[in-house]
Structure 1
Amino acid sequence: MRIYFTFEPRPDLRDPLVAEFPHVDFIFETGLSIDELQRADVLVTYGEDLNNENMNYATNLKWIFVASAGIEKMPAQAIMERNILVSNVRGIHKTPMAESMLAHILAIKRALPWIYEQQKKSEWSKKAKQSELRDSTALILGLGAIGSEVGRLLQAFGVTTIGCNRSGKEAAYMDNMVCFDQLMEALPKADIVISVLPKTDETTHLLKLEHFKVMKSNAIFMNFGRGNLVEEDTLNQAIQAGEFGYAVLDVFEQEPLAADHPLWSLPNVIVSPHISSHSSRYVERSLEIFKPSLEKWLRGEKDLDNVMDLSRGY
């Protein structure tokens, strides 16, 4: 059994992994090598180094473990044609991403960006426009591990949570539920609108200008899912027209965001360069998911955790 990592875990994470599975040949490299890809039975990757061309060399590959939640950059058709099983680290992002979202919300509510600017100017002023998070209402689009975790944290702050998914089916830490078709009725109630939706055909440009027009004028809009949720021209138009109060954006239709893009300079926009999931414990948590699946795989089992359906995109 030859397992090829296209990234190198820290020694304190790598060495225990090798010791725990002494009969496995582990190869650790930074970046993808065609020679190693040809020999690998299992590939462990962040999912951005595979393409249709190099998949032609993956003749022995039977399982791809993706140390990421999204697979939109992977050659899905080529993988499906070869009947390669794919699993990922779904759920790993819930702690850092929920903390990132909560940090941004509290920063806006308690006027921290303004306070930091005053400090730079050495200006003593008490004119901060501060408000409270308690008794707010949050509408959360996408109710997997991340959406449920941010719902749990917000409820602890006294926030009413409305969950939104395709079916409207009940989800953890949501006080009320709506489906996509009910967004126009739910958006006017929300002080905070958070999207953690995956990239699918159904979520592409789900939000249109009419949706932003019914939001509260002081609402906070946060996109931490995928940039396909809304066309950037539409989003920019809604912000410029003052349809809502603040935007916190971790994802964009085109990444990286161009240096001359107007979103960089708008005073009520926070650009987070797709880093809300980053954490010093990221690889540690990935391996906590990988190891039990590897044990199953070595026993000949295929019911691994987080097996993905590439035809659906998640």
Structure 2
Amino acid sequence: MNVVSSARVRPEIQQELLDDYPNVHFHFFERMEIVGSALEEADVLITYGEDVTEEHLQAAKKLKWIMVISAGVEQLPFQAIKEKGIIVTNAKGIHAIPMAEYTLSMMLQVARNAKRLISLEQEQTWDRRVPMIELNGQTVGVLGAGAIGQEIARLAKAFRMKTIGMNSTGRTVSSFDQIVPPASVDTLLKNSDFVVSVLPFTKKTEGFMTYERFQLMKPSAVFINIGRGKTVKQTELLKALEEKAISHAVLDVFEEEPLEENHPFWTMDSVTVTPHLSGISRQYQPRAFAIFRENFDSFLAGNPPLINRINLDEGY
């Protein structure tokens, strides 16, 4: 059994795998470009999902399973994977805690006008006329009521917020007062003080947030995107902000990354930009490899890995 990793795996996790699976040949690399001939013998490939091409799949003649130690899989060559009958799983769910904490921290920063407070401090200006609001009693709408969305809603409940979520079916999930399907997203947008997008990038979600949908939001509303940049039409968000259709946007992801140097978002008072780090945590790899281990034990026993198995037709 040969397992190849093109992801940079922490040394202590490498050693734990070597110790716990002595009959498995692990080959650890820091990037796909240096994997070389090891790919030809790989039964399992561990990757972040951004470095796998059709050419790699052609070389990996024995490959049966790709483990993506991230949630995003949109850059994988799905058609080639389907043709070769390869199973794909991901690490969905490991980002729930850090991304929910990021979201609540940004909601608090906007509500308590942190950008203005920091500016006043740097100017050495004592000004107590800074407008602030409470989260208490506000409504947060979450586009994507999966693991991350549910953790956001759970934390929001601690601030006595109302919670509305959207998922693909409209089925009830924990921590949400109300769930709507995509066809009823207008209800969520019109009634939320904060709208948080955790949407994955698929054919159905590409450009989901349009100018028309931003116009449905309250003029005082805040939009937060921690999902995928291409689920938002960026030029239309810019237009909505310039016209004050919404009051603020917190953006951790963008259509093209990194965000270009002279983009208006960098200097707008109504925008907070962060460099795609809402999911960063010291616990990232331990959580991802806990999922890998459970699936790997099943795989070694002759069963398919089932946790977080990707639907290759849907792309998530």
AA at the equivalent of 1:2: N
| In structure 2, C-alpha distance between the alignment counterparts of 1:30 and 1:80, rounded to whole Å | 26
Per-residue deviation, 1:10: 2.2
Instruction: Say whether 1:5 aligns with 2:5.
Output: yes
Aligned counterpart, 2:47: 45
Q: Does 1:136 align with 2:138?
A: yes
- Render the CA deviation track for 1:129-157: whole Å, top value 9, x for unaligned: 11100000111111110001101000111
The CA distance in 2 between the partners of 1:298 and 1:183, in whole Å, is: 43
* 1:3 partner SS: strand
1:172 aligned partner = 174
Aligned-pair CA distance for 1:163? 1.1
3-state SS, counterpart of residue 59 of structure 1: coil
Q: Specify the SS of the correspondent of 1:140.
A: strand
* Letter aligned with residue 192 of structure 1: F
How far apart are the structure 1 equivalents of 2:9 and 2:264? Answer: 38
**CA RMSD, Structure 1 to Structure 2 (Å):** 1.2
**For residues 231-275 of structure 1, what are the alpha-carbon distances to aligned partners after superposition, in whole Å with 9 as ceiling and x for unaligned?**
111111001000011101111122221112111111110112211
Q: 1:183-232: per-residue Cα shift (whole Å, max 9, x none)? A: 22332211001111111222122222222112111111011111222211
User: Of residues 290, 300, 306 in structure 2, which corresponds to 1:288?
Assistant: 290
Query: 5 Å matches for 1:178-217?
Result: 178-217=180-219
**Structure 2 counterpart of 1:241:** 243
Q: Which amino acid aligns with 1:136?
A: Q
Q: CA deviation at 1:16?
A: 1.5
Letter in 2 for 1:18: L
What is the alpha-carbon distance in structure 1 between the residues aligned to residue 308 and residue 185 of structure 2? 29
Q: Secondary structure at the match of 1:221?
A: strand
- 2:62, 2:96 → 1: CA distance? 33
Compute the displacement of 1:103 (Å). 0.6
Query: What's the CA shift string for 1:45-97, capped at 9, x where partnerless?
Result: 11111112222111111111100111111111111111011111110110110
Name the CA distance, whole Å, in 1 between partners of 2:8 and 2:315: 27
Q: How does 1:223-242 map to 2 (within 5 A)?
A: 223-242=225-244
Tell me the distance in 1 between the aligned counterparts of 2:103 and 2:172.
22
Q: How does 1:1-314 map to 2 (within 5 A)?
A: 1-32=1-32, 33-314=35-316
SS in 2 for 1:4: strand
Find the residue that maps to 1:53 and give its secondary structure: helix
Q: Which amino acid aligns with 1:9?
A: V
Deviation (angstroms), 1:303: 4.1
Normalised by the length of structure 1, the TM-score is: 0.97
Specify the SS of the correspondent of 1:123: coil
Looking at structure 2, the residues matched to 230 and 49 of structure 1 have their Cα atoms a distance apart, in angstroms, of 24
**C-alpha displacement of 1:110:** 1.3
Deviation at 1:11, TM superposition (A): 2.3
Unaligned runs of 5+ in 1: none
% identical aligned pairs:
39
TM-score, normalised by the number of residues in structure 2: 0.96
Distance in 2 between the 1:53 and 1:292 partners? 29
- The 8 Å contact of residues 184 and 211 in structure 1, kept in 2 or not, is answered as yes
Indicate conservation of the 8 Å contact 2:201/2:230, yes or no.
Answer: yes
Q: Which runs of 4+ in 1 moved over 3 A?
A: none
Q: Distance in 1 between matches of 2:5 and 2:310?
A: 19
Contact 1:34 1:57 in 2 (8 A): no
Alpha-carbon separation, structure 2, partners of 1:231 and 1:163: 21
**Alignment partners' CA distance in 1, 2:289 and 2:168:** 31
Q: What is the letter of the counterpart of residue 139 of structure 1? A: G
Q: Distance in 2 between matches of 1:257 and 1:274?
A: 10
CA contact (8 A) 2:88 2:309 kept: yes
Q: Distance in 2 between matches of 1:130 and 1:212?
A: 23
Q: 1:165 Cα deviation (Å)?
A: 2.0
Kept in 1: contact 2:2–2:42 (CA 8 A): yes
Equivalent pair of 2:150/2:173 in contact (CA under 8 Å): yes
User: CA separation in 1, counterparts of 2:308 and 2:52?
Assistant: 19
- What is the identity, as a one-letter code, of the residue corresponding to 2:15? D
User: Does the 8 Å CA contact 2:166/2:181 hold for their aligned counterparts?
Assistant: yes
Letter matched to residue 143 of structure 1: A
